Chains A and B, each alone.
Chain A
Amino acid sequence: MYNFEFVKPSSVEEAIAALKEEDAQPLSGGQTLIPTMKQRLNQPSKLVSLLGIAELNGVSAEGSTVTIGGATPHAVVAADASAYPALAALASNIGDPAVRNRGTIGGSLANNDPAACYPAAALASGATIVTNSREIAADDYFQGMFTTALDEGEIITGVKFPVPEAANYQKFEQPASRFALTGVFVAKYADGVRVAVTGASNDGVFRWTEAEEALSGNFSADAISGLTVDASDMISDLHGTAEYRANLVKVLTGRAVAAC
């Protein structure tokens, strides 16, 4: 990999200042960034580690909101987010134990891999992405595969999740990468049900609004039995065709509702 300068600031302000340099990039857990750099697909002049900033790490619960620091590793979310069990369960199944000790929620959301788990949780929960300069609603944050509302040099400092009445995440795992071949997160709130799908669409994570409407009226797996998912925008690759993924969306949504 190309060489770069490594810095590890201890405050958000210092990190933002360091990121002003051209081609500087934030480094969180590095579980995607480092492999990408090894392949020379990415060539930062400077990496600004966010893991030395204490305020970015940890899980807190207040009232009906769970807040997770941007640089909190998946393993810590799995262990400490007991106030939102479906979220803790999702975190406990990302990658493998070593990846979960390094990879962070902010890194996952900033990367917005089309098959990552956290984007489904954030979108289905109507979470708020908190950055060093503003708060962004999940509905405005995800803007397509590997694309988000974040500006250059803007970092995720935390994510606020409203805790639902019931929720479940069903991940149909690609067994080699442990990413979601398709994953569906269903969250039931007093004002309606939200359904977010990852791993399936060429546009990245999306809400399956027809299912949300059906489930908001009748929260049972039967409520979606008459629906079909359009395969035309779905990912097709050697692991599964677009039609296969479209079918998985429906099957996994039913399973998630049944498990709620």
Chain B
Amino acid sequence: MKVTMTVNGKSMSGDAEGRTLLSTFLREELGLTGTHIGCDTSQCGACTVHVNGKQVKSCTMFAAEADGAEVATIEGQANADGSLNVIQQAFQDHHGLQCGFCTPGMVMAAASLLEQNPKPTEADIRHHLEGNICRCTGYHNIVKAILAASGQEVPAVAAE
């Protein structure tokens, strides 16, 4: 079947079977490989994208379910001039990534959090990131980056 969705503001179409996952469709049909597939068991959150403004795991949704939807991926996060947006820049400034594999999902999750809660506490951030797993940084720097992206003071050492 043909599936059409608006991805990062642009209408895009491709072929999908019933079983084609949204993550597979984005990567293989639309060529948007910024969305990573980490575990493929809905645990790690590397594949996090926004569908109609809501954060979802694209490996646990069928492409056909997103037919006609507005989808936002990591490729659409940078500023119009190509510079990093405030969240991405904060991840760089606070060393919120090491290998970078989880980062697209972390950034999309952070964007979703800050939209709902522009000044989250550290606890709010940790609660919100429960579905995003990072195996390098131990989360402290990710939490700091998100605090910084929200314009709040970043403690020298994050608690916990």
> Contacts A30-B62, A97-B131 known; A35 to B19 CB distance under 8 Å?
no
CA distance A8 to B132 in the complex (A): 29
Determine which residue in B64, B112, B128, B132 has the highest number of CB atoms from chain A within 10 A of its CB, and name it: B64
Determine which residue in A30, A95, A102 has the highest number of CB atoms from chain B within 10 A of its CB, and name it: A102
Interface residues on B, range: 20 to 34
Interface assignment of B40: CB less than 8 Å from any CB of chain A: yes
Whether B61 contacts A34 by the Cβ 8 Å rule is yes
Interface assignment of B54: CB less than 8 Å from any CB of chain A: yes
> Contacts A2-B19, A178-B130 known; A99 to B57 CB distance under 8 Å?
yes
Interface assignment of A14: CB less than 8 Å from any CB of chain B: no
> Contacts A35-B42, A35-B60, A49-B65 known; A98 to B131 CB distance under 8 Å?
yes
Whether A38 contacts B40 by the Cβ 8 Å rule is yes
- Give the 5 A-B CB pairs with smallest separation, nearest first: A96-B131, A6-B18, A101-B54, A96-B130, A6-B64
Whether B131 contacts A34 by the Cβ 8 Å rule is no
- CB < 8 Å neighbour of A6 from B1, B41, B57: B1
Interface assignment of A82: CB less than 8 Å from any CB of chain B: no
Whether B19 contacts A1 by the Cβ 8 Å rule is yes
CA distance A35 to B43 in the complex (A): 10
Interface assignment of A215: CB less than 8 Å from any CB of chain B: no
Interface assignment of B73: CB less than 8 Å from any CB of chain A: no
The interface residues of chain B, by DSSP majority, are classed as mixed
Interface assignment of B103: CB less than 8 Å from any CB of chain A: no
Whether B62 contacts A6 by the Cβ 8 Å rule is yes
CA distance A95 to B61 in the complex (A): 16
Return 23 A-B CB contacts under 8 Å, by A number: A2-B19, A4-B18, A4-B19, A6-B62, A6-B65, A8-B65, A31-B42, A34-B21, A34-B42, A35-B60, A38-B41, A47-B62, A96-B130, A96-B132, A97-B109, A97-B112, A98-B48, A98-B56, A99-B42, A99-B131, A101-B54, A101-B55, A102-B60
Q: Looking at the assembled complex, report how far the CB atom of A1 sits from the nearest CB atom of chain B, in whole angstroms.
A: 5
CA distance A3 to B54 in the complex (A): 27
- CB < 8 Å neighbour of A3 from B17, B43, B57, B60: B17
CA distance A34 to B132 in the complex (A): 19
Task: Specify which chain A residues have a CB less than 8 angstroms from the CB of B62 in the assembled complex.
Answer: 6, 30, 34, 47
Interface assignment of A138: CB less than 8 Å from any CB of chain B: no
Interface residues on A, range: 20 to 34
Task: Specify which chain B residues have a CB less than 8 angstroms from the CB of A6 in the assembled complex.
Answer: 1, 18, 62, 64-65
Chain A residues in the interface with B (C-beta under 8 A):
1-6, 8, 30-31, 34-35, 37-38, 47, 49, 51, 75, 95-99, 101-102, 176, 178
CA distance A51 to B18 in the complex (A): 16
- CB < 8 Å neighbour of B41 from A4, A35, A97: A35
Task: Specify which chain A residues have a CB less than 8 angstroms from the CB of B109 in the assembled complex.
Answer: 97-98
Task: Specify which chain B residues have a CB less than 8 angstroms from the CB of A49 in the assembled complex.
Answer: 65
Chain B residue with the shortest CB-CB distance to A1 = B19
Whether B60 contacts A30 by the Cβ 8 Å rule is yes
CA distance A6 to B17 in the complex (A): 8
A6-B1, A30-B61 given; name 4 further pairs at CB < 8 Å. A30-B62, A97-B55, A97-B109, A102-B57
Q: Looking at the assembled complex, report how far the CB atom of B154 sits from the nearest CB atom of chain A, in whole angstroms.
A: 22
> Contacts A38-B41, A95-B131, A97-B109 known; A102 to B61 CB distance under 8 Å?
yes
